[in-house]
Amino acid sequence: MEFRTPVEIPRPPFQIEPLEEMLFVGSCFADSIGRCFSEEQFGTTVNPFGTMYNPASVLHTIERLTADKEPSDRRLVAFLTLGTNHVYRLKATGEIVDNCQKRPQNLFQEEELTIDACADYLRQAVSLLAAHWREVHVVLTVSPIRYRKYGFHESQLSKATLLLAVNEVVKSSSLISQPSSLSYFPAYEIVLDELRDYRFYADDMLHPSSQAVEYIWQQLEAHYFSPRTRQFLQEWAPLKKALAHHPFHPDSPDYLQFKEKTEAAVAQLLARYA
């Protein structure tokens, strides 16, 4: 008997290679998944200007990241993770802010972006990435983290808006030309439909637990990683464990020799897969 409902994950139109250049922009879920990639030696950039929750703020990060940037002849894999369609607009200027910076609430007006507005911000972000990298693979995700402050019904409406917007953008994937691609990874559905048990949530009962994040990482590995990447991770695992070792006597000759040998092995591994 099957006691869960596994979410089907379509095969993406590309595979992630070892040491790949990766970009993660979005909610704190992007921070969690980006950290997994960083620990496995991928060339990751994670929310370089802070955590971004809505499509407008995601676009603002991409705009700042690509401003005055020379086009790159390298490949980029970008995960854009959306948390909410709620935005805060500074009344004095009318601009959508990414962080209220603890300023008084009466300076801001809260709004909810429409499906069309969310889709438009995402299309702009994807277009900017496609214009600055020779090949770019954009993976859109919706964070499974619910927002209690809106109310749970309102939080679901917000997620529904994001899901519909993402669906519209993915359907218009001609936005970027070959060999680039635009796809959707069902992180939201995996947590809410497949891992629907409170043991997969952190103490606040809202954020995914480390176990849930690890499960999503495993799904990414199974569906998105190339055979060469999986081979690299197998070879990297014992070296990663060795580097994490904390000796009782860090200045002892034996440990210094062990450390030097391990660092040399890491350098050789990275050189082989570079």
Do 80 and 179 lie in one domain? The reply is yes
Do 269 and 165 lie in one domain? The reply is no
Give the helix ranges, DSSP H, for the chain: 28-39, 55-66, 115-132, 152-171, 187-189, 210-224, 227-243, 253-273
Section 141-150 average pLDDT: 89
Cα 41 to its chain centre, rounded Å, is 15
Look at residue 266 and tell me whether its pLDDT is greater than 90. Answer: yes
Does 13 reside within a domain?
A: no
Do 210 and 248 lie in one domain? The reply is no
How many domains does the chain contain in total?
2
Q: Residue 80 in contact with residue 122, Cβ under 8 Å?
A: yes
φ, ψ (nearest 5 deg) of residue 86:
-80, 135
Look at residue 175 and tell me whether its pLDDT is greater than 70. Answer: no
In the three-class reduction of DSSP (H, G, I as helix; E, B as strand; rest coil), residue 105 is classed as helix
Nearest of 140, 151, 209, 149 to residue 175 by alpha carbon:
140
| Burial of residue 138, with CB atoms counted within 10 A of its CB: 0-12 exposed, 13-18 middle, 19 or more buried | buried
| pLDDT tens-place string over residues 59-82 | 999 999 999 888 899 999 999 999
* Domain of residue 145, residue span: 21-225
Do 138 and 259 lie in one domain? The reply is no
Task: Return the sign of the alpha-carbon dihedral for residues 82, 85, 91, 94.
Answer: positive
Do 153 and 123 lie in one domain? The reply is yes
| pLDDT tens-place string over residues 228-238 | 999 999 999 99
| pLDDT tens-place string over residues 81-132 | 999 999 999 999 999 999 888 899 999 999 999 999 999 999 999 999 999 9
Do 216 and 254 lie in one domain? The reply is no
Section 242-266 average pLDDT: 90
Mean pLDDT of all residues in the chain? 93
**What is the pLDDT confidence band of residue 250, given thresholds at 50, 70 and 90?**
confident
Do 139 and 260 lie in one domain? The reply is no
- Six token digits for residue 263: 């660092």
Q: Residue 76 in contact with residue 136, Cβ under 8 Å?
A: yes
Does 230 reside within a domain?
A: no
Does 9 reside within a domain?
A: no
φ, ψ (nearest 5 deg) of residue 195:
-105, 45
Look at residue 196 and tell me whether its pLDDT is greater than 80. Answer: yes
Please give the pLDDT value at position 150.
Answer: 85
| Number of neighbouring beta carbons within 10 Å of residue 67 | 9
Does 55 reside within a domain?
A: yes
Nearest of 20, 271, 28 to residue 143 by alpha carbon:
28
What is the DSSP-derived secondary structure letter of residue 16? B
The one-letter amino acid code at 252 reads: S
Do 175 and 146 lie in one domain? The reply is yes
Cα 59 to its chain centre, rounded Å, is 14
Helices and strands, counts by H and E, the chain: 8, 8
CA separation for the pair 110, 149 (Å, rounded): 13
| Predicted model pTM | 0.93
